[in-house]
Amino acid sequence: MKKTIIINGTFVTGRTEENVLEGCMVIEGNRLTYIGKEIPEPLENYDEIIRGERKLYMPGLVNTHGHAAMTLLRGYGDDLALQVWLEEKMWPMEAKFGPAGVRSGTLLAILEMIKGGTTTFVDMYDHMNEVAQAVSVSGMRACLTRGVIGLCPEDIQEFKLKEAIAFAKDWNGAAGGRITTMMAPHAPYTCPPDYIERFVQAAHDLDLPIHTHMSETKREVEANVEQYGLRPVQHLEKLGVFTRPTLVAHGVHLTDEEIAILAKYNVGVSHNPGSNLKLASGVARVPEMLRAGIQVSLGTDGAASNNNLDMFEEMRLAALIHKGVSGDPLAVPAAEAFRMGTSMGASSIWLDDIGTLEAGMKADFIALDLDQPHLLPRTDYVSHIVYSASAHDVVDVYVDGQCIVRGRECLTLDEEKIKREFEDTFTRLTKG
Ligand SMILES: CSC[C@H]1O[C@@H](n2cnc3c(O)ncnc32)[C@H](O)[C@@H]1O
Ligand SMILES: [Zn+2]
């Protein structure tokens, strides 16, 4: 088994004790086996010695909600509210993607994400076999789900559910365990109650979690009350969704009672501040959710509502907007935003062996170039990561012990080919 040591690095570990340390880290196979101040064994015992001077090592970022192939719709349908954006802009264009479009859009998204320090992402979309194959070759880690919109005749509903089940079965644990799967009814406003119940049953049968959009806009909540007599949280509770481990995206419009229900069932919330601001959906009650003990992680959502996949930006937004809204500078401190982008992201998708740099954890980590004007002085590195850094500072990326980006170059994917094919796909979609 290959044994690598990084020496003379600066490490933000994400541990409660010794969160920042100057020292070294050892990687054996796909695991971290040592992190500390001293070099544990003579250097000749290692297969590879990496000099970490002027680099900041930290856990890889975990993007807990998105639709990768929507890179194809970046800059299309800007400045609209959710419902009109979905119905008039996104869905008509997505109907033309097909498997080739999804492959091309996803590969570009994966490139953008890994080069920007995201090592794990959640993806909910159609043509998911293409997404899983792209993840597999990229070396990234992902939690994938075939998102299903149930606003269609019964036979199509049936077909989509079967497809979602087959995908979830076929790919759970694939790519050496880097891929896990979930079941995903898209949202309470796009899936009738009896259809959601069938997803719950399937998730029970397959022992899988559930992922869904929930309470993203005020209009959606009002419509839910009008149609079903319940707010979305109570509605999903009644349908049994929370009897499965669940991750909901957005959770913007929640009452105290709903926050208590989510906490009771240990439902994770993927907070997507960039997307919520751009679609004018509102600002989620993140400080209240954190106080209630909810795992709040971060997501970019798709590139059409963000418009990039930079998780540093999401950490910064999460740390800033809640201060602005509450008037409390401690609403989401930098250290909390850092955890939301790393360890809480990992635990909210049930991956408890990534998200921190500790012996025994899987080797998913990134290095930032510290030798940059905006990252000086060498003071508070957590602050620099959250308030000053961006995707462009990432130089090296490791997933499962494999180096997939070195010196800003992706080693697993052909960047030029992916960009060329993406542009051809885009031309086909828009001119065809
Ligand atoms: C059925 S695959 C996923 C589906 O979700 C759509 N989508 C993208 N962003 C959002 C969002 O913020 N709220 C709800 N749905 C969203 C995407 O366009 C796909 O159709
Ligand atoms: Zn979404």
Q: Is 116 exposed, middle or buried (0-12, 13-18, 19+ CB in 10 A)?
A: buried
The interface predicted TM-score of the complex, written ipTM, equals 0.99
Q: Using most ligand atoms within 8 A of CB, pick from 74, 85, 86, 271 the residue to mutate for ligand 1.
A: 86
CB-based pocket (< 6 A), ligand 1: 67, 82, 86, 90-91, 94, 124-126, 147, 149, 186-187, 213, 216, 275, 301-302, 305
Return binding residues for substrate: 94, 146, 186, 216, 301
> What distance lies between CA 207 and its chain's CA centroid?
21
Q: How many CB atoms lie within 10 A of CB 41?
A: 12
Residue with structure tokens 């097909």? 98
Q: Quick one: pLDDT at residue 102?
A: 98
CA-proximal residue: ligand 1, atom 19 (nearest): 125
Answer for the pair 58, 308: CB distance below 8 angstroms, yes or no: no
Closest ligand relative to 303 C-alpha: 1
CATH H-level, domain 62-348: superfamily: Metal-dependent hydrolases (3.20.20.140)
As given in the structure block, the two tokens for residue 208 are 């899988």
How many Å apart are CA 49 and CA 86, to the nearest integer?
A: 50
Minimal-distance CA residue to ligand 1 atom 3: 125
**Residue 16: per-residue pLDDT:** 84
How much distance in Å is there from the Cα of 307 to the middle of ligand 2?
A: 13
Centre of ligand 1 to C-alpha 120, Å, is 19
Q: Counting beta carbons within 10 angstroms of the beta carbon of residue 20, is it exposed (0 to 12), middle (13 to 18) or buried (19 or more)?
A: middle
Intervals of the chain under pLDDT 50: none
pLDDT at 432: 63
- The three-point CA angle 368-373-374 to 5° equals 70
* CATH node for 3-60+361-410: 2.30.40.10
Burial 58-73 (b: 16+ CB within 10 A, else e): bbbbbbbbbbbbbbbb
- Tokens found for residue 168: 């979830």
Q: Ligand 1 atom closest to Cα of 216?
A: 13
Contact between 85 and 279 under an 8 Å Cβ cutoff? The reply is: yes
Are residues 378 and 370 in contact, defined by beta-carbon separation less than 8 angstroms? yes
Contact 120, 351 (CB under 8 A): yes
378-398 burial code (b ≥16 CB/10 A, e <16)? eeebbebbbbbbbbebbbbbb
Domain boundaries, the chain: 3-60+361-410, 62-348
Binding residues for Zn(2+): 65, 67, 213, 301
- The alpha-helical segments, DSSP class H, found in 142-192 are 154-171
pTM of the predicted model, to two decimals?
0.98
Instruction: Give the model's pLDDT for residue 18.
Output: 86
